[in-house]
Amino acid sequence: MIQTAADTGWETHPVTPDRFEDFAAIVNPTGRDKHCWCLSHRLRVKDIEELGGGNRETAMRKLCGRDNPPGVIAYRDGEPVGWCSIGPRAEIPLLAASKLIRPVDGVPVWSIICVVVRSGHRRQGVTEHLLEGAIAYAASRGAPAIEAHPVDPDGRMDTTMAFVGTRAMFERAGFRVIGTTDAVASRMPRLVMRRDL
């Protein structure tokens, strides 16, 4: 367990196989077969085929059993309320091969590729605790730095692309802008933000 705040009701845990149903309750509460399972920005189709026989849920379950589980779940009073997909950039095939989000330098960063707050729990401080837990998880695994690729909207952004996060959200968690990408979300350029550990 990674305790994420003085508030004793908050905890963050890596998404190990025994926590898969908690992860599913956040990212796919209706149990749709064709749901992304937080793989659409992580694995290539061929990787999903190799890992899960083409089944996204099976592929994600197998990722959860690896040495570096693919993210963390935030809990409030024992209830799963948030998900952050994070891992070494080198272990995220789509990001490692991206021509739009290229490495800034040679630092072996960990990357945040998705942040989700469970429906019914938004605007309640979940993101703060979730990012604290993700940072603590990466630090515990020896990450030298963490990167994220959010946007900087003038106001609220399209909820379908909200998983990338916002500049303000990551600045509150101690990240700084170190560059830009050629990628966009909701027609806005995605930034490169980093927090050194």
Q: Write down the pLDDT at residue 116.
A: 93
Q: Write down the pLDDT at residue 9.
A: 86
Q: What is the DSSP letter of 34?
A: T
pTM surpassing 0.85? Answer: yes
Contact 75, 59 (CB under 8 A): no
The list of the chain residues with pLDDT below 50 reads 3-5
Of 23, 14, 4, 10, whose CA–CA distance to 173 is shortest? 4
42 by DSSP, 3-state: which?
coil
10 by DSSP, 3-state: which?
strand
Q: Write down the pLDDT at residue 29.
A: 87
Token pair, residue 186, equals 């909701």
User: Which residue is it, tokens 């590729």?
Assistant: 113
Distances from the Cα of 189 to the Cα of 33, 77, 81, angstroms: 31, 37, 28
2-3 vs 79-88, strand pairing mode: unpaired
Instruction: List all residues 6 or more positions away from 18 whose beta carbon is below 8 Å from its beta carbon.
Output: none
Residue-wise pLDDT tens digits, 31-69:
887 788 999 889 999 999 999 998 999 999 999 999 999
Residue-wise pLDDT tens digits, 172-187:
999 999 999 999 988 8
Q: What are phi and psi of 85, to 5 degrees?
A: -80, 115
Q: Alpha-carbon distance 161 to 28, whole Å?
A: 16
